[in-house]
Structure 1
Amino acid sequence: MVHIRIPHLYDDLEKSIAKLEHDQASIVKSRSVVDEALQSDEPLYGINTGFGALANKRVGKEQLKQLQRNLILSHSVGVGDLVPRELSRLMLALKIHALGLGYSGISQKTFKRLVYFWKHDLIPAVPEKGSVGASGDLAPLAHMALPLIGYGSFWNEEGTEVMPAEKVLSEHGIEALDLQPKDGLSLINGTQLMSAYGAYVLEKSLNLMKAADLVAAMSLEALQGSIKPFDERLYRIRPHAGSQQVARNIRQLLVESEILESHRHCGKVQDPYCLRCVPQVHGASRDGLRYCCKVVETELNAVTDNPLVFENGDIISGGNFHGQPLALALDHAKIALAEFASISERRTYLLLEGHDGLPELLMEETGINSGFMIPQYTAAALVSENKVLCHPSSVDSIPTSLGQEDHVSMGSIGALKLLEVYENVEQVLAIELFTAAQALDFRKPLRPGRGVEIAHRFIRDAIPYATTDHYFKDDINRAVELLQERSVVAKVEQELARLV
């Protein structure tokens, strides 16, 4: 099997599914164990029994297929907005990969249909709310499975509207499936909603961490901050890996800086923490996200449904579906990401105060112009919102299934909030990016460090210098696009050196 890693998440999943399309030996092998077990009269959870609190109720052989169909229909109770199409697509890919590991016992026909959906870009529409992150993401995954039996909806190609699954299946000339014993349980048990959100955000965060360092370096230069707090010797004697990486990035970005040389002997003793402690703050967030990546990667390559099927014929009912490992990591990721925005907003504020020759609000004529005053309001609002979003979801638990499922992770709630936090952080960093670019223009003709200069020149091709008030929302949107496209960091790495 292909091992899925966050840095090349999408390529790895493509490879895994391509392999499973042609080699389904693991599916056939695990299914044979289920088929053999069905010949006995032993109670098998969710295969010939009810679910959750109904686990002690036996189901007759003539009703086993109906049991699986009922499971999908009864658990499709999700509410709220739909999960974005690209995240639903990721959920589908992760479910295929997990089933392909060969411990779920799903029937080959059902598995092939999931692969067909993927191959033809038929992405089920999934409501985002309804999971408590314990017996897997039951409601969301039930909605993902609905089109298999002719219910539910698919996204259109643009992700702008949904279409009835029955209609789409008819257009493809295929009929709804008759689920086999255990199929339904294999489909809806699992942590693919939580995993998808975690992997999606963390993959993006790998670039955002570099962008945060670059933007901080721009502000440091614009504010004529000191390079001394980034001295390598400081990080040898407090050797946190994240801090070492950030300090190295800043030193690299400031190579050949004329601005640094111009104030090297200015007599200023210390900069505010938002400049001086960038390695400590950004670095701690990097280390936190590194832990989160490790947990999520483990989950991406794990089997998280129940019961699980083993080669020797054992079918074991356990708790691999419980989302607690993910719930804790996703809460941690929220906090780690939020700190990038928290310190970024402080640097943005500092840029507006008129330090070391910069005009207040970064415009020469204020009064008639508000200058860059109000974008900082937006950054402050988003940082404050993140404080609420970062309340840990994993500290809550409400019993379900008549008390059978008496501790739940609420990791799905943390997952949804993680994406909101990430998007807020992206906006806050974008505001600092175009604010720092404006401030750097006032340092001319002195040149900043090579990395900062490359970034500044690139930004100026997209966002012009502002002489008067204008529709700043366009600047924010374009700055966000530069971060989302990963183009600023890519340009610096292309012309200077790779950031870590």
Structure 2
Amino acid sequence: MNTVTLKPGSVPLADWRAIYRGARVRLDAGANEAIARGAQAVARIVARGEPVYGINTGFGKLASIRIEDADLAKLQRNIVLSHAAGTGEPTPVEVVRLMLALKLASLTQGASGISARTAGLLEAMLERDITPVVPCQGSVGASGDLAPLAHMAATMLGVGDVFAGGERMAASKALADAGLEPAELGPKEGLALLNGTQFSCAWALAGLFEAERLLQSALVAGALSTEAAKGSDAPFDHRIHTLRGHVGQIAAADVLRCLMAGSAIRASHVENDIRVQDPYCLRCQPQVMGAALDVLRQAAGTLAIEANGVSDNPLIFPETDEALSGGNFHAEPVAFAADMIALAICEIGSFSERRTAMLVDPALSGLPAFLTPEPGLNSGFMIPQVTAAALVSENKQRAYPASVDSIPTSANQEDHVSMAAHGSRRLVAMARNATAVVGIELLAAAQGCDFHAPLQSSEALEAVRHAVRAKVPALGPDRHFHPDLEAANALIRSGAIIAAAGVELPGVA
């Protein structure tokens, strides 16, 4: 298992991807100095006795209420417990781990006033796979992801449940079993743990990474579909795309051309193509997939900045011993990025379904109806295409922008919110839907190429077909189709199709 060393403020996107995929996390020792400066500044602010929001006052609409020094620790514990008011299914462990790492990287930049002990507990929980049970609903993406992060923070106090050793158990037991003491929060620490965009950002990054793998797999499946339909690779000519200039479009065209290079199937019809132009689902792959790639890269840029930023409130500036209240917790950048990712996922799946629909239609593909050797007696790929259509429609419904919604909260103190959590949480499910759509296309494309035997495709695409056929035999008479679909899904989700292609596919960073 790889280990990622977090250098707060400068963690590359590849490291966040690795953490999401299961890498261990270690905090860079260089962060200790910044942590100490922030904690010392909070101590000096408390000693001055002046009212400072989040340190010795109430929160939100209650900010005008001064809290006595003797109650400061209780204040921080109370905010954690009172804000742990989420609901819904537990957030997946891999997303919570990413959230913990994002929170650790934010808190240890010295602007949050967190203590070394509290930061160390957060790091230890990551290291020992003690993962808080965080209900997935309850954040509106402003004033931070308060409820989800409160559930995280509560487990640090020994309250609530965690997943540890593959089991769900009380946080107090898991901490004790690991030899860890529950946190005793000092001034500002509870609020620092609760404020921030790390729940929304973790979900958005998860969606981004799933969308990246989806796009790469869809490029491979699209190339194979082009071969199955005896489509032309002329629309992928580099010269066409340089004239337009979009970077993603050029990259998509180049990889499609590379995937098809040396194909005997293509060579067999290059001189006598009957069709003057292929359907858009084949011909316009660089334009559509390239646009999706550009959108994902733009979202990736936003999320890379957010992941390395500090988004709690107030922020501590040790140089002047100031605690400045602002609004970095407002997750509008994450909400916009999530909406962009949703659009890209939706279009990747929609475009893939159109290629499957084309392949099963003999009038368009020139292949046997529904890709079965005996249409009529057998239905072949008839219903898998219906399934793909159903999933695409579901994703269209989910793709409506979340960021255009808002609802006032906290007695109108928080009168505009981002809904970043809503926008981000849908992405993994949308990517799962689109992955199933691309899996159906992959099977249909492999089946279509089977009809061209003994002609073979390119070396790269034959390797992909071999990977498919190792798990799913060619379809002759009708059989139980569900296991085939699940096998195709697994090939895509695991990255096996990308690996089989053996070519460098464009990514988000």
TM bucket normalised to smaller: over 0.9
Equivalents in 2 of 1:333, 1:17: separation in Å?
26
Choose 188-197 or 20-29, whichever is displaced more: 20-29
Where does residue 107 of structure 1 map in the other structure?
115
1:320 deviates by 0.5
The code of the aligned residue for 2:423 comes to G
Where does residue 364 of structure 1 map in the other structure?
373
Where does residue 11 of structure 2 map in the other structure?
4
2:358 to 343, 350, 357: 350
Query: Do the aligned residues in 1 keep the contact of 2:368 with 2:375 (CA within 8 Å)?
Result: no
Equivalents in 2 of 1:187, 1:72: separation in Å?
8
Where does residue 276 of structure 1 map in the other structure?
283
Choose 321-330 or 38-47, whichever is displaced more: 38-47
1:15-69 CA-partner distances (Å, limit 9, x unpaired): 9952446852211111000000001122111111111111111111111111101
Query: Do the aligned residues in 1 keep the contact of 2:214 with 2:431 (CA within 8 Å)?
Result: no
Query: Do the aligned residues in 2 keep the contact of 1:7 with 1:203 (CA within 8 Å)?
Result: no
The code of the aligned residue for 2:481 comes to F
5 Å-filtered alignment, 1:167-206, equals 167-206=173-212
Q: TM-score normalized by structure 2?
A: 0.94
Alignment of 1:123 onto 2:131: yes
Where does residue 230 of structure 1 map in the other structure?
236
1:369 deviates by 1.7
Where does residue 148 of structure 1 map in the other structure?
156
Equivalents in 1 of 2:253, 2:15: separation in Å?
25
Where does residue 291 of structure 1 map in the other structure?
298
Equivalents in 2 of 1:461, 1:140: separation in Å?
43
2:89 to 78, 81, 96: 81
The code of the aligned residue for 1:131 comes to S
1:201 deviates by 2.1
Q: Secondary structure at the match of 1:39?
A: helix
Residues 22 and 235 from structure 1, CA distance in 2 versus in 1: closer, same or farther, beyond 3 angstroms? closer
Choose 311-320 or 292-301, whichever is displaced more: 311-320
Query: Do the aligned residues in 2 keep the contact of 1:6 with 1:202 (CA within 8 Å)?
Result: no
Percent of matched pairs sharing the same residue: 43
1:471 to 456, 468, 480: 480
Q: Secondary structure at the match of 2:131?
A: coil
The code of the aligned residue for 2:112 comes to S
Query: Do the aligned residues in 1 keep the contact of 2:251 with 2:290 (CA within 8 Å)?
Result: yes
1:88-108 CA-partner distances (Å, limit 9, x unpaired): 111111111111122110122
Query: Do the aligned residues in 2 keep the contact of 1:186 with 1:305 (CA within 8 Å)?
Result: yes
Q: Secondary structure at the match of 2:114?
A: coil
Where does residue 418 of structure 2 map in the other structure?
409
Choose 267-276 or 332-341, whichever is displaced more: 267-276
Choose 335-344 or 456-465, whichever is displaced more: 456-465
Query: Do the aligned residues in 2 keep the contact of 1:21 with 1:115 (CA within 8 Å)?
Result: no
Query: Do the aligned residues in 2 keep the contact of 1:20 with 1:100 (CA within 8 Å)?
Result: no
Equivalents in 2 of 1:391, 1:233: separation in Å?
36
Equivalents in 1 of 2:17, 2:149: separation in Å?
20
Query: Do the aligned residues in 1 keep the contact of 2:104 with 2:123 (CA within 8 Å)?
Result: yes
Where does residue 329 of structure 2 map in the other structure?
321
Q: Secondary structure at the match of 2:26?
A: helix
1:434 to 438, 443, 451: 443
1:430-465 CA-partner distances (Å, limit 9, x unpaired): 111111111110011111122212211221111111
Query: Do the aligned residues in 1 keep the contact of 2:26 with 2:127 (CA within 8 Å)?
Result: no
Equivalents in 1 of 2:458, 2:134: separation in Å?
47
Equivalents in 2 of 1:214, 1:436: separation in Å?
10
- The aligned length equals 495
* Structure 2 portions without partners, runs of 5+: 1-6
What is the RMSD computed on CA atoms of the aligned residues?
1.7
5 Å-filtered alignment, 1:243-262, equals 243-262=249-268
1:200 deviates by 1.6
* Structure 1 portions without partners, runs of 5+: none
Where does residue 163 of structure 1 map in the other structure?
169
The code of the aligned residue for 1:402 comes to A
Equivalents in 1 of 2:66, 2:296: separation in Å?
45
Equivalents in 1 of 2:192, 2:487: separation in Å?
43
The code of the aligned residue for 1:392 comes to P
Where does residue 389 of structure 1 map in the other structure?
398
Where does residue 52 of structure 2 map in the other structure?
44
1:147 deviates by 1.3
Q: Secondary structure at the match of 1:209?
A: helix
Equivalents in 2 of 1:419, 1:499: separation in Å?
21
1:489 deviates by 1.3
Alignment of 1:489 onto 2:498: yes
Alignment of 1:54 onto 2:73: no
Equivalents in 2 of 1:48, 1:366: separation in Å?
76
The code of the aligned residue for 1:360 comes to A
Where does residue 247 of structure 2 map in the other structure?
241
Alignment of 1:98 onto 2:90: no
